[in-house]
Structure 1
């Protein structure tokens, strides 16, 4: 599985939500991406996103996603995430909608499974879930905003959850 821009993962979740007539608030999007990244690290062993996760007051946050969607407040996101690159030939900014590679079945399956498992939760409920004692956020948050939650901590947490779920089946 490749790792992607968090915006590509956001666009994958937005596409799934649109297919089902569901909405995703910015807080819910943060948590869905974090959960997909965590389960990817825990099950596949690969990071889904290529940006660090930070521990903020309301849980794990991916800064580029915060900046992209903060203007929606607590309302559903109504537009895809975009990335800009400077075009040296035209001296203009080119706009691109980042996507998960069509042939990356592992990433698509992971995102679909996370969507199926968590789509009925609100952003607040997912925030509560990620705030549980001994979660990577709980172990990392110190009241400051720029604290990175190490991928190794996230991976160990989701490996443990995966083992517990396997035993419980």
Structure 2
């Protein structure tokens, strides 16, 4: 079972999107996470994270992402997720090359 948090994966997406100047809304984030999860599962036969997608009106979604970033509504997300210890976590792409390739 995976211990990776979708919020950490979201931080990787934010990091890359900020470097490329690509805006990310909560809905776009949900879609990107779904495709990353799917592609990672296809490549490794393992789940990227243990959280499960739910069938929502506009497509698959993770509750934790909605709970964390839903207040942005249709605006671009402007801040990384920070955990309760106020630290910013991302997935180490060097130690997980399959994730890096998928991302």
TM-score by length of 2: 0.89
Match of 2:99 in 1: 107
What's the counterpart of residue 73 of structure 1? Answer: 73
Aligned counterpart, 2:25: 25
Which residue matches 1:97? 88
Say which SS state the counterpart of residue 48 (structure 2) adopts.
coil
Shift, 1:36, TM fit: 0.3
SS of equivalent residue, structure 1 residue 78:
coil
How far apart are residue 28 of structure 1 and its match?
A: 0.2
Distance 1:15 1:50 in 2: 22
Q: Give the length in aligned residue pairs.
A: 101
CA shift in 2, pair 1:79/1:25, >3 Å: same
Render the CA deviation track for 1:140-163: whole Å, top value 9, x for unaligned: xxxxxxxxxxxxxxxxxxxxxxxx
CA distance in 1, matches of 2:39, 2:52: 15
Distance in structure 2 (CA, Å) of the matches to 1:82 and 1:64: 13
Question: Considering only CA atoms, is the larger Rg found in Structure 1 or Structure 2?
Answer: 1
The list of structure 1 runs, each at least 4 consecutive aligned residues, that deviate by more than 3 angstroms after superposition, is: none
* 8 Å CA contact 1:5, 1:98 repeated in 2: no
**Could you tell me how far 1:96 is from its partner in structure 2?**
2.5
Looking at structure 2, the residues matched to 33 and 3 of structure 1 have their Cα atoms a distance apart, in angstroms, of 16
Higher percent of residues as strand: 1
Q: Cα deviation per residue 1:35-54 (whole Å; 9 max; x = unaligned)?
A: 10011112221111221111
Deviation of 1:3 (Å): 5.2
